[in-house]
Chains A and B, each alone.
Chain A
Amino acid sequence: MIGDGPAGLRAAVSAAQRGVEVTVIGENPLHGGQIFRQLTPPLQAPGHIMELLDRRILADLQDDLSKVNIQFLNKSIVWGIFDDKMIAFDQNQRSLIKARKIIIAEGAYEAPIAFPGWTLPGVMTVGGLQILLKSQGMIPTGKIVVAGTGPLLLYTASQLVEKGADVLAVLEASSLSQWMRWSTKMWRMPGIMGKGIKYMHTLRKHRVPVHYSTVPLAANGSEELEEVVFARADKQWFPKPGTERRMEADILCLNFGFIPSTQFTHIAGCEHICDPTMRSWIPKFNSHYETSVEGIFVAGDCTGIGGVKKAVLEGEFVGLEVARQMERLPAAEAEGRLSKLRKKIRAYRWYQQFLRNIYAFRPGLIDLLTDETIICRCEEIPYKEISRLIGNGSHRLEKIKLLSRTGMGRCQGRFCYPTLLGIFSGILSEDEACSQDFTSRVPAKPLPLEVLFQLPDSDEAAHDANS
């Protein structure tokens, strides 16, 4: 099990309940993934700091976890997945583990939006700010602007003001009328509608304006963020000239949607489908959530952004499927349970579509780019370099990567490939845009060389897996 968020934990529980020997490998000191991050012990508080959106799911999971035997490898960074399902990870003593089946539930991360100054200290993701709040109990002291699109902005801004933070404004890229139309679809999730109204009420009470049809244009400052420039935008998020406004700010937190993480599926050699509308890839998988590599399964947001409930259902499905393939679940029982789960998962497809609608890439975002705007943060590659290469005929992401180093840095393309896909979608044919992919090589994350020197030889590795 690679990934210890809701999908990973649910899959681990479902498999372990059937007697499968499960090891969950996660990076953080505590399991839970991103959405369920809590105060890192020994930090403690009487309740949860942020209103947990799906408290029941977490409570159920923790209850189930306490009743099964699962090996947790925390603080473990997976850096390689090899042909024989040997997983290489970095965690001091242990370093290799051989699996019969691998479930990858690597989740998602926030979509990068490039614009002038987006790399300034003080400009961060909404998720990053939430982590400081949820798991560290920290809140900004200065002026905050929250920008992007979607309900997460209202949620975050209202949580911040309730804790006494100074939120200057929420900048929502889509229009109010568009949101009125979308909210008519939310009747299926009345809880969320109620919460949305509550957040808007909180913001109104604290006099935090929500500017619709508004996009950030630039983040200015010499060393750190000092000022946010923003403008009105049209339906495709193109900024309207002459509508620029400025605000002094210390923190700008952004959320324009999420990108399914496919780092481990790429390292494992799985095939992927490129989705230019969402500026991302998802792994190819069949009706059993098995990828193109036999014995490797996927579940959760990495199969497509779909929220916690979908993630948990997919986790349960995959856990049972793995148990079935390992003959811990009789075929007849499997049939019944899996097809019920399939129906339940299908019932959430509307939510996936809803998220696709609100988070879809709009061409106006490319209009935010200037020649000097950094596209590849890690390697400091500006937009003019990318334009030059595209102009010279480089229409493959992999070629631009090789010629410019875009995507070769520490983040391995996570925060630049989505922008490249957005750029491509405006220039290339649909076929060309949809057929982009990249190669991944080990190590998946930067490693000190000594980790390689400390790897056991093959005999020891076999022993390692059995202990």
Chain B
Amino acid sequence: MFKRLENIERRNPFTIRVDGEPVMAYHGETLAAVLLAAGKMVMRKTFKGHMGRGYYCGMGICHECLVELGDGTKVRSCQTLAEPDMEIWTAR
């Protein structure tokens, strides 16, 4: 679990839906940061062994932090900025 540091200016919070539940996010935050702040450490499950995987390299090259968008596309949560009304599914 992660938390937001206090001395940072964050504007206009909005909601995204994560696994069907509303979760708060701020502009400039990546999906990974939003998920980690919401306690979602398991971001995807592997294809063969259904192993839970999460945030590892943080710079977009390991592809472990993939989450599924509402339309089924998989994105790297560490490289994708959260946007209002996004729908995210984890552990898929």
Our pick among A46, A380, A414 for the contact of B49 (Cβ within 8 Å) is: A380
User: What residues on B are CB-neighbors of A410 within 8 Å?
Assistant: 63
A415 to B46, alpha carbons, bound, how many Å? 16
| Residue in B7, B36, B59 whose Cβ sees the most chain A Cβ within 10 Å | B59
Asked if A137 and B56 make an inter-chain contact with CB atoms under 8 angstroms apart, the answer reads no
Look across to chain B and name the residue whose beta carbon is closest to the beta carbon of A381: B48
| Residue in A29, A42, A138 whose Cβ sees the most chain B Cβ within 10 Å | A138
Asked if A411 and B61 make an inter-chain contact with CB atoms under 8 angstroms apart, the answer reads yes
Look across to chain A and name the residue whose beta carbon is closest to the beta carbon of B10: A43
B23 in contact (CB, < 8 A): no
**Contact string against A for B residues 1-26, beta-carbon threshold 8 Å, 1 for contact and 0 otherwise:** 11111011111000000000000001
Interface residues of A in 186-239 (CB under 8 A from B): 223-224
Asked if B62 and A224 make an inter-chain contact with CB atoms under 8 angstroms apart, the answer reads no
**Contact string against A for B residues 31-51, beta-carbon threshold 8 Å, 1 for contact and 0 otherwise:** 011001100011100111101
Asked if B1 and A250 make an inter-chain contact with CB atoms under 8 angstroms apart, the answer reads yes
Asked if A121 and B30 make an inter-chain contact with CB atoms under 8 angstroms apart, the answer reads no
Contact A121:B55 (CB < 8 A) given known A136-B33, A139-B2, A140-B1:
yes
Asked if B41 and A132 make an inter-chain contact with CB atoms under 8 angstroms apart, the answer reads no
Distance from B91 Cβ to chain A, minimum over Cβ atoms (Å):
9
Binds B, one of A122-130, A323-331, A455-463: A122-130
Asked if B57 and A39 make an inter-chain contact with CB atoms under 8 angstroms apart, the answer reads no
A43 to B6, alpha carbons, bound, how many Å? 12
- Range for the number of chain B residues in contact with chain A: 35 or more
Distance from B72 Cβ to chain A, minimum over Cβ atoms (Å):
11
A216 to B81, alpha carbons, bound, how many Å? 33
User: What residues on A are CB-neighbors of B36 within 8 Å?
Assistant: 132, 138
User: What residues on B are CB-neighbors of A121 within 8 Å?
Assistant: 41-43, 52-55
A119 in contact (CB, < 8 A): yes
User: What residues on A are CB-neighbors of B46 within 8 Å?
Assistant: 380
Our pick among A42, A43, A141, A409 for the contact of B3 (Cβ within 8 Å) is: A141
User: What residues on B are CB-neighbors of A224 within 8 Å?
Assistant: 41-42, 52, 54
Our pick among B4, B41, B54 for the contact of A137 (Cβ within 8 Å) is: B4
B78 in contact (CB, < 8 A): yes
Interface residues of B in 50-76 (CB under 8 A from A): 51-64, 73
Asked if B51 and A45 make an inter-chain contact with CB atoms under 8 angstroms apart, the answer reads no
Asked if A138 and B2 make an inter-chain contact with CB atoms under 8 angstroms apart, the answer reads yes
B29 in contact (CB, < 8 A): yes
Contact A43:B29 (CB < 8 A) given known A131-B78, A137-B4:
yes
Asked if A125 and B57 make an inter-chain contact with CB atoms under 8 angstroms apart, the answer reads yes
Asked if A44 and B2 make an inter-chain contact with CB atoms under 8 angstroms apart, the answer reads no
A132 to B9, alpha carbons, bound, how many Å? 16
Distance from A142 Cβ to chain B, minimum over Cβ atoms (Å):
6
User: What residues on B are CB-neighbors of A110 within 8 Å?
Assistant: 57
A223 to B44, alpha carbons, bound, how many Å? 11
The 5 closest A-B pairs by CB, nearest first: A128-B58, A121-B54, A410-B63, A43-B28, A131-B58
Q: Which residues of A contact B (CB under 8 A)?
A: 27-29, 34, 39-46, 49, 109-110, 119-125, 127-133, 136-142, 163, 223-224, 250, 261, 377-380, 409-411, 414-415, 446, 448
Q: Which residues of B contact A (CB under 8 A)?
A: 1-5, 7-11, 26-30, 32-33, 36-37, 41-43, 46-49, 51-64, 73, 78-79, 81
A-B contact pairs, 23 of them (CB 8 A): A29-B81, A34-B59, A43-B10, A44-B9, A121-B41, A121-B43, A121-B53, A124-B54, A124-B58, A125-B57, A125-B58, A127-B58, A132-B36, A136-B28, A136-B29, A137-B4, A139-B5, A224-B52, A250-B1, A380-B51, A410-B63, A411-B63, A448-B73
